[in-house]
Amino acid sequence: MTRRPLCCGPDDALLEVRDRMLARNIHHVPVVDGGEIVGIISASDIDTLYRCPYADLSRAIVADAMSAAPYVVSIFTPIEEVVRTMAAQRWGSAVVVDRKRRVRGIFTTVDALGLLAGLTVSHRGQSATPS
């Protein structure tokens, strides 16, 4: 999990957020308003808006492209539950919040792959496919 991830507001300029994402090589940014999570913006959300022939990205704000219903989990949610849900729902990230719904981190598919890689070290020699 990335602790204290880059966050943005729904009224932030989309191109500025995209530039910050590119500079940090990240693909998901929680969107907060009044300290609470209200959405998530991903690189693919921005790409989708970019391909729209009628979109004026120079005037676009985060709310124009964000997903308003991100996968949000408590800091106490077991990692097994998070990973299973992400896989089942095909979500690229989970926003981790505390009891007051303040963002404390973000867990992405890259983090999940890191966990998997760590597990494979203890299971060397086993095939990824069943025999």
- Confirm whether 68 is domain-assigned: yes
Task: Give pLDDT, residue 50.
Answer: 85
Question: Max Cα separation, the chain?
Answer: 55
Q: What is the CATH number of the domain that holds 47?
A: 3.10.580.10
62-91 confidence digits (pLDDT tens)? 999 999 999 999 999 999 999 999 999 999
Q: Is 33 helix (H, G, I), strand (E, B) or coil?
A: strand
Task: Count up the domains in the chain and report the number.
Answer: 1
Task: Please state which of the ranges 32-36, 103-107, 111-115, 119-123 shows the lowest mean pLDDT.
Answer: 119-123
- The parent domain of residue 102 ranges over 2-121
Structure tokens at 22: 């590119």
15-24 pLDDT per residue, tens: 999 999 999 9
pLDDT over threshold 60, residue 129:
no
- For 15, which DSSP code? H
Nearest residue to 41 via CA among 76, 3, 6, 74: 6
Residue (of 20, 39, 42) closest to 31 by Cα position = 39
Looking at residue 131, its pLDDT comes to: 43
Residue 101 lies in a domain: yes
3-state secondary structure 48-100: HHHHCCCCCCCCCEHHHCCECCCCEEECCCCHHHHHHHHHHHCCCEEEEECCC
